[in-house]
Amino acid sequence: MKARVTVMLKDGVLDPQGEAIRHALGALGFDGVGGVRQGKVIELDLADGTGEAEVRAMCERLLANTVIESYRVELA
Amino acid sequence: MKARVTVMLKDGVLDPQGEAIRHALGALGFDGVGGVRQGKVIELDLADGTGEAEVRAMCERLLANTVIESYRVELA
């Protein structure tokens, strides 16, 4: 089975990477780009039967820094 | 309107970050983790009426290195 974890900086945490992308898009002539946030996506191939609870434990212990990042788990 | 762009390394391109995550999960005692791929997700706040074609142009010109990365656009 597959799981996809999306990790984003929490609202209110400065995102210099996203800000750099926003600036660069403007410089390239793309108008109307308001805000940009960049995060990580991690795709995991897991043994069948792995539960969402175990994936969330992976997030808490390794994949996300929960002080400044939030994460979302999708199983497929 | 919002757009989400997901950028992943193409299949066959080595992903050392993903490999490091796989190794670290194993070291933490999470068994059954087969493969891990890490990519980027970019959330854009766009002016209403921006089309998917314009977001794809942003990907081609800035957000993805299409030699080694593939991208997916979702509009919301």
Q: pLDDT value at position B23? A: 97
pLDDT greater than 90 at residue B58 = yes
Fold type of domain A2-75: Mth169; Chain: A , (3.30.1280)
Give A39 to chain B, closest Cα distance, Å. Answer: 5
Rounded to an integer, the average pLDDT of B22-35 is 95
Q: Which two tokens stand for residue A2?
A: 């597959």
Asked if A61 has any chain B CB less than 8 Å from its own CB, the reply is yes
Neighboring chain B residues of A42 at a CB cutoff of 8 Å: 18, 21, 36-39
Encode pLDDT of A43-62 as tens digits: 999 999 999 999 999 999 99
pLDDT at position A76: 86
**pLDDT by residue (tens digit) across A6-35?**
999 999 999 999 999 999 999 999 999 999
**Which pLDDT score, from 0 to 100, does residue B76 have?**
86
Whole-angstrom Cα distance, residue B32 to residue B34?
A: 6
The full set of domain ranges for chain B reads 2-75
Residue B27 pLDDT greater than 90, yes or no: yes
Query: What's the CA gap between A49 and A56, in Å, rounded?
Result: 14
Distance CA B58, CA B63 (A): 6
Q: Could you tell me the CA-to-CA distances from A61 to A27, A55, A73, B64, B69 in Å, in that order?
A: 39, 10, 14, 29, 28
